[in-house]
Structure 1
């Protein structure tokens, strides 16, 4: 036992801070009751921490581009990956088994890797993100508008729950960091030790810029007094606490952005086709038991309501009970053979037992498990609880749809098969008044479609589980960084994760208006009508003898560097040869009578892909040089048909330049426009190339 109870430190303004005195709240080992430390922020200047984030944090993060910040996330993930065992050891003191710890620790590290990859793949290597197409606002094109995203100028305060101290922190930190917004973390007391250890490792890595991460180890509700419209709060926890925070004047009237993920009475719905012996029935039972026992059921995404056809209720209850009996061993997670650890604290245990007791007095009956303390051998004083399965004879009982026992507790409800059962299943699921996630377990496409479309408006995520994805599915209770995590109503009404969508939560969308040159200057993306330096055919604005942009490395290339070709005439023989060589003998290219009847064509016309191929021949500089490869084509539109005897020319303009942080090359997006001999636009698209940063391979 500890003889000296230490205070858990906060990390603010690049320093570890410990309060004076011996007050504060005790953090206990969930299995033994041993005091691990005390937490307090008494005497800590929270306003100074916010100011430091807004000033130093914003300035240091602003020195990096989106790609550079994303790359640092990969470095950080690699570093933490090498220190997982240290985190596992501490995690066991929260009552988590090794499997629970993997979900939390490995899952959190995986979020960093995912956001690093998506950030570099899907975002520009800059600090301005263009949102949507240009809106031309004047007849001559001299005035236009569009939307951009830039980072909010404040801090992102995350107030986290006790159940996932690593994953919960990193899934909020990653998108904020990529966006360039400093984070202030406030973990929950029961698992504070693990959160502090994670932050300490992140600091020790030396990877993070100053001010990008601060930690408050103790009560921090007053931090809202220091926030304003520049800042954002991401909250995970109870709906009652979320409502108190929402009522704060700086949130309610001061413009603080508030994102909440709260209570959720998630449902797993079994289709009528999923009878015992089917893969769907087995997958359903596995899923419910997993969600009851992982993290001792202390997950916001756990299954609280198993909604099944009334005639299958006895079989479902029997199967869940048998699987619990055969697989669940409750005890100290450091003891060999234990499969379910303790709840996070004795207070949490008391709360869950009280909720179950209320349910038993409100129509639920004990179908499996007990409220008596389980026999855990020598592990005394811990917050241990048996899994509890409740049978609800009345599926409309208010308690099952309003009361969440945040532990290893699930209720089984039956739905009638009126009109196939789908409408009744939807009705019962919706009584949860908004949930994070639901599972629909069926191999019947019609039932799946009816239920999913019926419950989608009440849920943030829906898993469709059947024999095809039962093995590959990440599971009902596992949010993934690619998809949103959140939900309407009781679930908080907010969203987290969701890939780049979550990055955008930390950014402001702004409409900007101006001339093409000014829009280009702000966004770093060339706009039609902005200045260009055009090499090529003088007849079409090119400068004869000027350097072709394909001869320029990224060090030399500038936005607006362009090439204009001369005309190339299209003949019927060209069209016929292309049709024969490609096999594309669509009548518009081969049958003059049929083509003339087509309302879109004047008769036989050239293939669109013939024109695109010719365009490449018109703009490509064939000699070896800094352009290494063409890796794609985007936004292709064919606007004016080209008949035999017409001619085409191409104008190619460097639209966007994105050097890669880790490579000797980068991407260049080229605005490409084909005109005919009359100046009409034939086609428009973007050509994507890989270009050397320096012209070294073919100088």
Structure 2
């Protein structure tokens, strides 16, 4: 895609998105946060390091814009979201390259993310005009019951680094469709994409103050300050379970409504009757999307005894053949990890498992040279008490375990504090559904390795979160039901 000749802008240029904080439709210059290319460690740009005072300024801007945006007709809000979708689509190649630069993911993954991210704007452009209500008779016959849904108010949106476009649009789309104004705080590792989203939003017609973007190296301080402000009525967070618990405690002080999409440790179950090649195809998608740096990534592969050895051999062959390199290289299939700390964590988990008796079939050691690279890795014979069996791996490491029967498979799948995603492969659909019902998880993929869809509710149970994003329910996370008792 050529640069935007109308506006003279190339959305793949990091410098374009390092103009400052985005508050009230203006760019407020500043520096302090280096953004680096994880493939090389080279500096891409610097973005501002916001302080608490600037966070309050963002709330002021969101409050100033709230009444007009709330009263903007749903069709008009929908048309703005639709234009935003179109602009993202027009600039898809540039946005994908920008994501690859700051996040490291392979261009193919980045293109997939841009398409997925844009769909949230299209989906919620459609949902904005379908906000539900109720009218019914009270059972007593004394009156009528009317239920309206109204915007919940100013929303603080906190997004992670692994899907810098999609995690932003998955929150901004329903919030704006509902009539809320927002303050987006993206991860410091990948802020450029968030600022690119704001720039495109302005071109799409988003009024000043409706969307504000802050970056900060003091996330706890500015988030706590915003949550303490009575004007903020919603927190939508995607990130680790540990941070989510802290934010829930903070939000409780002012009784702020919370949506939490937290950690995962997805099991991938393969029964003897499964199509082996289809299961391997699905395993590669479920494990290696975004190089394993995804909350829905399959971490624990439970394979029935009759197909176990063939599955390990097939997975090893496929993983070993993947090309590792800079995300911006078109030949790359697996990009770098996000930081050196991420590589160190993978090395520690794998080394500890091997010391406990796990067997390495491919990979298993960090790659030398510049950049933050860890190779695709397959382990089996992993002890069930190894740390890697219970941790959110967040990298290209697949651990394969053997099981004998359905009951054991379900018990193993549920042996985790998480409950976000799970995968089941079997030729027997009734068994797959039965097993899926037995697994404690918010989302189940049957005979496929990709489950995320803007039209479906995304979220988990147990320590994987509260609420749902996407689908017809996602917009209701940003609305309050209001009941009217009416006597005509």
Does TM, normalized by the shorter one, top 0.5? Answer: yes
Cα distance in 2, alignment partners of residues 69 and 61 from structure 1: 8
Cα distance in 2, alignment partners of residues 332 and 206 from structure 1: 32
1:72 shift after superposition: 1.7
Q: Does 1:63 align with 2:52?
A: no
Cα distance in 2, alignment partners of residues 43 and 36 from structure 1: 26
Residue aligning to 2:114: 105
Distance 1:265 1:177, change over 3 A: same
Q: Does 1:114 align with 2:123?
A: yes
**Greater helix fraction, Structure 1 or Structure 2:** 2
Residue aligning to 1:236: 238
- SS of the aligned residue for 1:258 comes to strand
Q: String of CA shifts for 1:505-556, please: whole Å, max 9, x gaps.
A: 111112221213xxxxxxxxxxxxxxxxxxxxxxxxxxxxxxxxxxxxxxxx
Moved over 4 A (4+): none
Cα distance in 2, alignment partners of residues 311 and 25 from structure 1: 52
Q: Does 1:319 align with 2:314?
A: yes
1:229 shift after superposition: 7.6
- Name which of 418, 429, 441 aligns with 2:425: 441
8 Å contact 1:285–1:319 — kept in the other structure?
yes
- Structure 2: stretches of 5+ with no match in the other structure: 1-12
**Structure number with larger C-alpha Rg:** 1
Higher relative contact order (CA 8 A, sep 6+): 2
Residue aligning to 1:218: 216
1:424 shift after superposition: 1.1
Q: Does 1:302 align with 2:297?
A: yes
Q: String of CA shifts for 1:472-497, please: whole Å, max 9, x gaps.
A: xxx53441111111101221233211
Residue aligning to 2:444: 462
- Aligned residue pairs: how many? 469
Cα distance in 1, alignment partners of residues 44 and 52 from structure 2: 22
1:393 shift after superposition: 4.9
- Name which of 23, 36, 45 aligns with 1:12: 23
- Name which of 396, 403, 409 aligns with 1:415: 403
Q: String of CA shifts for 1:347-380, please: whole Å, max 9, x gaps.
A: 2222222232333344533232121316xxxxx5
Q: String of CA shifts for 1:100-132, please: whole Å, max 9, x gaps.
A: 111221111122112223433x33xxxxx413x
8 Å contact 2:182–2:212 — kept in the other structure?
yes
Cα distance in 2, alignment partners of residues 348 and 8 from structure 1: 29
1:382 shift after superposition: 0.8
Q: String of CA shifts for 1:216-274, please: whole Å, max 9, x gaps.
A: 022333233233485111111111111221221xx123111121112100011112212
Q: Does 1:160 align with 2:159?
A: yes
- Name which of 384, 405, 408 aligns with 2:393: 405
8 Å contact 1:401–1:431 — kept in the other structure?
no
Cα distance in 1, alignment partners of residues 350 and 184 from structure 2: 32
Q: Does 1:270 align with 2:270?
A: yes
Residue aligning to 1:173: 172
8 Å contact 1:301–1:476 — kept in the other structure?
no
8 Å contact 1:144–1:513 — kept in the other structure?
yes
Cα distance in 2, alignment partners of residues 309 and 28 from structure 1: 43
- Structure 1: stretches of 5+ with no match in the other structure: 124-128, 275-279, 375-379, 466-474, 517-699
Distance 1:359 1:509, change over 3 A: farther
1:138 shift after superposition: 5.3
Distance 1:8 1:14, change over 3 A: closer
Cα distance in 2, alignment partners of residues 80 and 337 from structure 1: 24
Q: Does 1:41 align with 2:50?
A: yes
Residue aligning to 2:457: 484
Residue aligning to 1:386: 375
Residue aligning to 1:334: 328
Distance 1:182 1:366, change over 3 A: same
- Name which of 339, 344, 351 aligns with 1:345: 339
Cα distance in 1, alignment partners of residues 456 and 146 from structure 2: 27
Deviates more, 1:29-38 or 1:60-69: 60-69
- SS of the aligned residue for 2:401 comes to strand
TM-score for both structures, normalised by structure 1: 0.64
Q: Does 1:431 align with 2:388?
A: no
8 Å contact 1:265–1:404 — kept in the other structure?
yes
1:206 shift after superposition: 4.6
Distance 1:165 1:393, change over 3 A: closer
